[in-house]
């Protein structure tokens, strides 16, 4: 995964003789309406840890531990169009597309985008609020049980 590739690159360029610990990586388990799931979160963490370990990482910490719950925002057609534009601009590194969005719909960027971002933030945990593990929590338990070194 990209996480393991970055570990390898850091070890190669910056600190070949030092330990590297992956901090704050992860994948949200929701909102489901945007295509995220608890299963995809677990798969990402398992693959990210395996590739990081194989690249020489000595530790791994997911972005969030306790999940915020099942917040599922309602995405309006305006949200969907603007998020698609934002994603396309970011993936392509196209500042013109991003500027057109920010200048063309500044109210949405200033108010709705942060609101949607906060709704996703609550979906990064690997343990439910009641303490039971999500599938990714079981992956993290497995990582923690691996022998050191």
What is the tens place of the pLDDT at every residue in 47-69?
A: 999 999 999 998 888 888 888 76
Q: Is a pLDDT exceeding 80 seen at residue 73?
A: no
Q: Tell me if 143 sits within 8 A of 57, measured CB to CB.
A: no
* CA distance readout (Å), 16 to 2, 50, 71, 144: 19, 19, 42, 24
DSSP 23-59: EEE------GGGT--HHHHHHHHHHHHHHHHHTTEEE
pLDDT tens digit sequence for 14-28: 877 888 899 888 888
Return mean pLDDT, the chain. 88
Q: What percent of the chain has pLDDT over 90?
A: 50
- The predicted pLDDT at position 84 comes to 94
* Confidence (pTM): 0.69
How many other β-carbons are positioned within 10 Å of the β-carbon of residue 109? 16
Question: In this predicted model, which residue has the larger pLDDT, 71 or 129?
Answer: 129
pLDDT tens digit sequence for 38-50: 999 999 999 999 9
Q: In whole angstroms, give the CA distance from residue 27 to residue 29.
A: 7
DSSP 85-129: HHHHHHHHT-HHHHHHHHHH-HHIIIIIHHHHHHHHHTT--SB-T
| Token pair belonging to 89 | 């601009």
- The predicted pLDDT at position 114 comes to 87
Average pLDDT over residues 77-85: 94
| Token pair belonging to 34 | 């945007």
């Amino acid at each position: 995964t990209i996480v393991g590739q970055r570990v390898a690159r850091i070890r190669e360029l910056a600190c070949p003789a030092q330990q590297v610990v992956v901090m704050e990586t992860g994948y949200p388990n929701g909102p489901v309406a945007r295509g995220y799931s608890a299963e995809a979160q677990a798969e990402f963490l398992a693959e990210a840890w395996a590739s990081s370990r194989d690249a020489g990482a000595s530790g791994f910490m997911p972005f969030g531990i306790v999940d915020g719950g099942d917040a599922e925002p309602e995405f309006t057609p305006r949200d969907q169009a603007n998020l698609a534009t934002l994603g396309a601009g970011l993936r392509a590194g196209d500042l013109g597309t991003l500027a057109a969005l920010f200048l063309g719909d500044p109210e949405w960027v200033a108010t709705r985008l942060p609101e949607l971002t906060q709704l996703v933030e609550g979906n990064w945990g690997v343990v439910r609020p009641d303490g039971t593990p999500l599938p990714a929590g079981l992956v993290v338990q497995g990582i923690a049980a691996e022998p050191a070194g």
